[in-house]
Structure 1
Amino acid sequence: MATMSRRQQVLSSYRALLRATRNAFDGDHRVFTAARQQVRQGYETGRNELTSDPKDCHEIDKRLEHASGVALLLRSNIVQGELQPGKTSKENTATVDPGDSVAQSEVGGVYKLRIHKHTELGDNEAVKGGKTSLAGTAKKINWNY
């Protein structure tokens, strides 16, 4: 199998990042647009700074690896929460300082989390045991409803 050209690798990583922003920020137009703008700006900067000169190949490889890591983080570790109006939690453990920017209606509110099939679901044992990595702790979930 032939290896991808450097241009194909860059385009592939760009598309992967755009897909990851769609997964992570679907339904939040403001954040979705800002994330996509940030991705575009980063790639435009790279296009203007780097050439196909062999001395830049190492830098391009580093940036491709970084883009891959960011896409994985967005896809698996970002969870959006939406405040459910009129619903409150039975356990209200949060306290609000009058000078705090948290809206009073959000304290003790119920949030609906948008967890999707790519979301990494770790267990509390990894945190309690003092592990510094969650690798291998993801739960298997049947996503066929």
Structure 2
Amino acid sequence: MSATTKQAYKQALKSINTVFKNDFPILKAAKTQIKQEIFKNSKLTNTEEITESIKKLDEISNFLLSNLVQGELKTNGKYFLNFHDKTELGDNESIKTNHTSKMGSLSGSKGTSIRSSKK
């Protein structure tokens, strides 16, 4: 395992520990999955394949930290979301802009690109 592979592996474990902190079955399953992938890729000899697998592991780590939030069911039937300092929080500005002209009929209105293609 190269130094960058070790770094990617350590970062993946840190990400998993942060995201699934209080969910022990999922935490264990995620760690097992990462270890299996590391061992599966340990026999790679092609530099490009090694670099690609490290990049993929880094992307997974970043995705977990940025996009996953653990929810906890409270006694009142509502969920409490456990955000952490690395959770990506948007400002909803992109939602406010009108994208219906490019989205087509699935957005609830016919898009201009669909109309122009029928001409």
TM-score range, shorter chain: 0.7 to 0.9
Q: How does 1:87-98 map to 2 (within 5 A)?
A: 87=76
**Number of aligned residue pairs:** 98
Q: How does 1:3-42 map to 2 (within 5 A)?
A: 7-42=2-37
Q: Deviations over 1:95-139 (max 9, x none)?
A: xxxxxxxxxxxxxx3111100111110122223434xxxxxxxxx
Aligned CA RMSD, in angstroms, stands at 1.3
Residue 69 of structure 1 is aligned with which of 52, 55, 59?
59
For the residue of structure 2 that corresponds to 1:123, the secondary structure is coil
For the residue of structure 1 that corresponds to 2:22, the secondary structure is coil
Which blocks of at least 5 consecutive residues in structure 1 are unaligned?
1-5, 88-108, 131-145
Match of 1:98 in 2: none
* Alpha-carbon distance, 1:80 to partner: 0.7
Moved over 3 A (4+): none
Match of 2:102 in 1: none
Which blocks of at least 5 consecutive residues in structure 2 are unaligned?
100-119
TM-score, length-scaled by structure 2: 0.77
The 2-side partners of 1:26 and 1:40 are apart by 18
The residue type paired with residue 80 of structure 1 is Q
Asked if residue 122 in structure 1 is aligned to residue 90 in structure 2, the reply is yes
The 1-side partners of 2:9 and 2:94 are apart by 32
The 2-side partners of 1:29 and 1:61 are apart by 31
The 2-side partners of 1:118 and 1:14 are apart by 18
The residue type paired with residue 73 of structure 1 is F
Asked if residue 59 in structure 1 is aligned to residue 27 in structure 2, the reply is no
Question: Larger % of helix: which?
Answer: 2
The 2-side partners of 1:78 and 1:12 are apart by 21
The 1-side partners of 2:95 and 2:29 are apart by 32
The residue type paired with residue 82 of structure 2 is R
